Amino acid sequence: MTDQKHIDALVALAGPKGASTDAGEIAPHLREWRDKFNGQTPLMLAPTDTATAAKLVRYCNDHKIAIVPQGGNTGLVGGGIPGLEGRDEVLFSTKRMRGSITVDPDDMTITADAGFTVAEMQAAAADHDLLFPLSLASEGSCTAGGVVSTNAGGVHVVRYGTTRALTLGLEAVLADGSILHDLSALRKDNTGYDLTQLMVGAEGTLGVITKVTFKLAPAEKQLHSCWLAVGSPQDALRLLRSAREATGDRVSAFELMPRFGLELVLAHIPGTTDPLEEAHPWYVLTDIASSSMDPALESQVNDWLEREMTAGTIKDGVVASTLAQREALWRLRETMSEAQKHEGGSIKHDISVPVSKVPAFLEEAGAAVQATCPGARLTPFGHLGDGNIHFNVMQPKEADKQTFLDGWEAMNAMVHDIVTCYGGSISAEHGIGTLKRAELARLKDPAQLAAMRAVKAALDPNNILNPGALFG
């Protein structure tokens, strides 16, 4: 355990409320909501300003004390929880960094301290008739610093890009306690390596992000949400293409769901109903949006739906005509993870393949799962527009949960091998953390791994920044 004299020194440096050694206060920061990760630490640092954060990091570096940065603690890969696998680590929470949040409507940017949540940034942007495009299930808790560290995705990536694409600049404390000033609102800057982009998705292993400037988009003035039944992922893909063509690329979400996933939602989530009368094998939920009131868009959407129904690509469908209807449709999608918890064990894969390869991947991976685990119930769903599918495998109905879950790593390895054959990614949006470290080492291009290690060693020579993540 970290030496008491260091704990005392850090508490003193952190100032009033800037640190805690109270186990009860620290406890919620050590658990992941699905209970997959449970950490431990004697000390939580939680400074409110960059200068103090820098002092704390410098002290830790000088004394080779490992720290694990954490935002809203909504991560799914054990990347923000200290003390996993018996490591001696201090928690470094950025949740209290909430000094300032500013929208610049002329530059269409928002600059926020690391501790503001995505929902708060959405609201601040909306006050100026602008859109903070990031939208994900945890938006009420996840923070500016956290989404940048993990390059969060969500349902709007198909139109607005990932967090990486939205991040214009940032400020971060580096391992030696120096402050990286790159909090730029510039749209173009070619003055050397893009260190902001290097920090995005680095999972706190290269620095502690303290402030971020994000791009904003014009608010969506008009929104058509459609729930569409299709016969296959291939047909869903055809729809994605024709929707883009028909609407001038104004598709802002395009989600794929299987019938079985919908059935789980209908069975376990109160107040949900099937929007359609008959059952269909696959569903698409798409948002088509415009930032101007464009009377032509509605007819473009309607013409597209009619053409695709006539062609047989769409079997049946509804278009939300009220906000309440829209919310009901999106609830079916957003509760699809939660609904699975009620039916036993579920082995998760957050994968991506090139968009065009999703149908072939689903077929091949589905067959492989059935061959090794007959009766396993597949619930692949997610962001078809990005090629990002949450390829979840639920236990056979009567199987023993623990026995099934004991096969997690073997199942992962099999699915990841198939993903790799398709030129895909074993972590499309959740990151590596501690969970997928071994798979990363197994499957990543050796030259990339070597370059990553070289960069890490160069910027964090004492390996104090989240040493358990990525490399381990």
β-strand partners of 392: 379
DSSP H or E run through 149: helix 144-150
- The token pair at 315 is 């079997």
Please tell me whether residue 23 binds a copy of itself under the rule CB under 8 A. no
Q: How far is the CB of 205 from a copy of itself (least distance, A)?
A: 8
Cα angle for residues 356, 166, 236 (degrees, 5° grid): 25
Residue (53 or 353) nearer to a copy of itself, CB: 353
**Residue 78 dihedral angles phi and psi, to the nearest 5°:** 65, 35
Amino acid identity for residue 3 in this structure? D
**Residue 197 dihedral angles phi and psi, to the nearest 5°:** -65, -30
Considering only residues 337, 340, 395, 427, which one is a binding residue for a copy of itself as defined by CB under 8 A? 427
Q: How far is the CB of 461 from a copy of itself (least distance, A)?
A: 9
Q: How far is the CB of 26 from a copy of itself (least distance, A)?
A: 27
- In the chain, the N- to C-terminal Cα span, in Å, equals 19
Which pairing describes strands 44-45 and 167-173: parallel, antiparallel, or unpaired?
A: unpaired
Q: How far is the CB of 193 from a copy of itself (least distance, A)?
A: 5
Q: What is the C-alpha to C-alpha distance for residues 66 and 60, in angstroms, rounded to an integer?
A: 7
Q: How far is the CB of 444 from a copy of itself (least distance, A)?
A: 6
Residue (164 or 268) nearer to a copy of itself, CB: 164
Residue (240 or 314) nearer to a copy of itself, CB: 240
Report helix, strand or coil for 260: helix
Q: How far is the CB of 254 from a copy of itself (least distance, A)?
A: 12
Neighbours of 294 (CB within 10 A): 15
Interacting residues with a copy of itself between 333 and 352 (CB under 8 A): 352
Q: What is the C-alpha to C-alpha distance for residues 262 and 279, in angstroms, rounded to an integer?
A: 10
Interacting residues with a copy of itself between 156 and 215 (CB under 8 A): 157-158, 161-162, 164-165, 174, 178-182, 184-195, 197-198, 200-202, 206
Longest CA span, the chain: 74
Q: What is the C-alpha to C-alpha distance for residues 266 and 40, in angstroms, rounded to an integer?
A: 38
Q: What is the C-alpha to C-alpha distance for residues 247 and 106, in angstroms, rounded to an integer?
A: 27
Please tell me whether residue 237 binds a copy of itself under the rule CB under 8 A. yes
Contact region for a copy of itself (CB under 8 A) — 23-31, 36-44, 153-161, 325-333? 153-161
Q: How far is the CB of 421 from a copy of itself (least distance, A)?
A: 14
Angle, helices 358-372/233-247, rounded to nearest 10 degrees: 160
Give the x-and-dash track for 107-146 against a copy of itself (CB under 8 A).
xxx-------------------------------------
Please tell me whether residue 91 binds a copy of itself under the rule CB under 8 A. no
DSSP 339: H
Please tell me whether residue 234 binds a copy of itself under the rule CB under 8 A. no
**Residue 425 dihedral angles phi and psi, to the nearest 5°:** -115, 140
Q: How far is the CB of 74 from a copy of itself (least distance, A)?
A: 15
Residue (29 or 436) nearer to a copy of itself, CB: 436
Interacting residues with a copy of itself between 247 and 306 (CB under 8 A): 247-250, 290-292, 294-297, 300
Residue (44 or 157) nearer to a copy of itself, CB: 157
The closest of 252, 246, 249, 262 to 224, measured between CA atoms, is: 252
Q: How far is the CB of 145 from a copy of itself (least distance, A)?
A: 16
By rule CB under 8 A, what count of residues binds a copy of itself? 94
Interacting residues with a copy of itself between 376 and 415 (CB under 8 A): 383, 385-388
Considering only residues 284, 288, 428, 435, which one is a binding residue for a copy of itself as defined by CB under 8 A? 428
Q: How far is the CB of 347 from a copy of itself (least distance, A)?
A: 19
Please tell me whether residue 153 binds a copy of itself under the rule CB under 8 A. yes
The closest of 227, 233, 238 to 311, measured between CA atoms, is: 238
Inter-residue contact 334 to 137 (CB < 8 Å): yes
The closest of 206, 83, 214 to 143, measured between CA atoms, is: 214
Contact region for a copy of itself (CB under 8 A) — 91-99, 133-141, 147-155, 256-264? 147-155
